[in-house]
């Protein structure tokens, strides 16, 4: 073999071996610029992922424009997460769970934001709250003693089943929340937020 051919062959071997030396058989595909990590970095079953989901939601909630005077701090709720995962596992395209499936024990009705519409959906639009997901104003103005990082900490854990509970309480305060009859107890149950959350932020 000629010396020139031998040198050329050795150069090819060296170059090829260097390229293969840099090859990583364990590399992962890149998605949107970042390497896809292990499943536990994405799965909401892990506490760290739950913490990050809540953290980012609260960061964005504290930065709304115009500022909110009554924006509540979000918390992780195991029952709501379990119901959401159960419905996600069904994998039905743009379909909500039924009313029973959206009811969470010790919490109440829990919405499912599967998609957004550009038109009014009658069942989801309370006339007094259209386009008002929060009250604009100085951050925490409506919860001054219960505020952290521009978010209110005094949320009401109950919800009203009737849309006119506040109006009924103003017009008939002793009738709505203080009835000792079975009917009176039912009324209090249907207006849990109005009757039970005096100085707490609620819908």
Count other Cβ atoms within 10 Å, centred on residue 53. Answer: 14
Q: Which two tokens stand for residue 3?
A: 């010396």
Measured CA to CA in angstroms, residue 16 lies from 6, 23, 38 at distances of 15, 11, 31
**Whole-prediction pTM:** 0.65
Q: Which residues contact 83 (CB under 8 A, 6 or more apart)?
A: 97, 101, 102, 104, 110
CATH class of the domain whose range is 43-155: alpha beta
Q: Using CA atoms, how far apart are residues 147 and 143, in angstroms rounded to an integer?
A: 6
- Are the folds of 43-155 and 157-203 the same? no
Collapsing DSSP to helix, strand or coil, 68 comes out as strand
List the one residue out of 88, 147, 143 whose CA is nearest residue 114: 88
User: Tell me, what's the pLDDT at 62?
Assistant: 96
197 pairs with which residues across the strands? Answer: none
Q: Which two tokens stand for residue 70?
A: 């009554």
Q: Are 105 and 116 in contact (CB under 8 A)?
A: no
List the one residue out of 53, 106, 112, 108 whose CA is nearest residue 87: 112
- Structural domain 157-203, CATH architecture: Orthogonal Bundle (1.10)
- pLDDT per residue rounded down to tens, the chain (203 residues): 666 676 666 666 655 555 455 556 556 555 555 565 677 778 888 999 999 999 999 999 999 999 999 999 999 999 889 888 888 888 777 777 777 777 787 777 777 766 655 555 555 556 666 667 889 999 999 998 999 999 999 999 888 888 899 999 999 888 888 878 888 888 888 898 999 998 899 86
Residue ranges of domains in the chain: 43-155, 157-203
Q: Are 76 and 35 in contact (CB under 8 A)?
A: no
Query: What are the pLDDT digits (tens) for 92-151?
Result: 777 777 777 777 877 777 777 666 555 555 555 566 666 678 899 999 999 989 999 999
Q: Which two tokens stand for residue 40?
A: 């536990």
Rg (CA), the chain: 28
């Amino acid at each position: 073999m000629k010396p020139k051919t031998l040198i050329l062959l050795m150069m090819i071997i060296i170059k090829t071996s260097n390229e293969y030396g840099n090859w990583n058989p364990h590399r992962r595909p890149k998605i949107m610029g970042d390497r896809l990590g292990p499943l536990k970095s994405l799965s909401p079953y892990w506490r760290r992922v739950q913490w990050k989901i809540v953290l980012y939601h609260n960061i964005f909630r504290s930065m709304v424009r115009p500022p909110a005077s009554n924006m509540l701090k979000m918390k992780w709720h195991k029952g709501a997460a379990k119901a959401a995962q159960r419905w996600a596992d069904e994998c039905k395209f743009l379909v909500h769970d039924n009313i029973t499936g959206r009811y969470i024990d010790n919490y109440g009705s829990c919405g499912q934001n599967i998609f957004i519409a550009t038109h009014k959906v009658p069942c989801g639009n309370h006339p007094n709250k259209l386009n008002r997901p929060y009250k604009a104003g100085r951050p925490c103005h409506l919860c001054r003693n219960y505020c952290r990082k521009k978010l209110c900490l005094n949320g009401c854990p109950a919800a009203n089943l009737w849309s006119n509970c506040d109006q009924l309480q103003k017009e008939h305060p002793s009738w709505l929340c203080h009835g000792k009859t079975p009917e009176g107890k039912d009324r209090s149950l249907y207006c849990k937020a109005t009757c039970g959350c005096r100085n707490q932020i609620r819908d």
